[in-house]
Amino acid sequence: MGPSSILQPGATAPEFALKATPDQRLALSDFRGKPVVLAFYPADWSPVCSDQMAVYSEIIDEFRAHGAQLLGISCDGVWCHLAFARDRKLSFPLLSDFEPKGDVARKYGCYDDAEGVSGRALFVVDGEGRIAWSDLAPMGVNPGADGILAALGDLGRSSSRPRPQQGDRS
């Protein structure tokens, strides 16, 4: 799994519906019309993942200012996610890519077969369901939020530009 293996900007983001709680699923298509940030990560409770998710929770208002929905995704089970989110006071859904294990991570090109976990990959999906930005960080590195926020800013600028009308020569 190298940086070139993850889905690149311009690709259509694969649809999914994963459990956010034992009896609730969230689908990518539930958020059509607004940007979605997908934060794939290896494991609840690991030090780097805990730090990464805490950063996102602290700046969740910056994501919301861009109209974006943040979703954390790992192969951990839903009960593990609920305990982790409660302990870390996370203010966004964690989705369980548990059964079949890593299925969604594989579709996004970020499943690590050697480790049996999702890689630390980030995707910004635009309101039409296309990947606008993606990044794969080394397992031991917290990628932070700068790249995500820059991509959301670019999306905001491009969506506020007037679109050429049909028949325009501009």
> If you compute the radius of gyration of the chain from its CA atoms, what whole number of angstroms results?
16
DSSP string across 98-162 = TTTTTHHHHHTT-EETTTTEE-EEEEEE-TTSBEEEEEEE-TT----SHHHHHHHHHHHHHHHSP
Per-residue confidence (pLDDT) for residue 160, from 0 to 100: 61
Say which CATH topology domain 31-157 has.
Glutaredoxin (3.40.30)
Domain ranges for the chain, please list them.
Answer: 31-157
- Report, as residue numbers or ranges, the catalytic residues: 49
Whether omega before 9 lies within 30 degrees of 0, making that bond cis, reads: no
Sign for the CA dihedral angle at 30, 134, 113, 118 comes to negative
pTM for this predicted structure = 0.91
What is the pLDDT at residue 156? Answer: 87
**Angle, helices 78-88/47-58, rounded to nearest 10 degrees:** 60
Count other C-beta atoms under 10 Å from residue 69's C-beta: 19
3-state secondary structure of 10: coil
* pLDDT tens, residue order, the chain (170 aa): 554 589 999 999 999 999 999 999 999 999 999 999 999 999 999 999 999 999 999 999 999 999 999 999 999 999 999 999 999 999 999 999 999 999 999 999 999 999 999 999 999 999 999 999 999 999 999 999 999 999 999 998 886 655 444 544 44
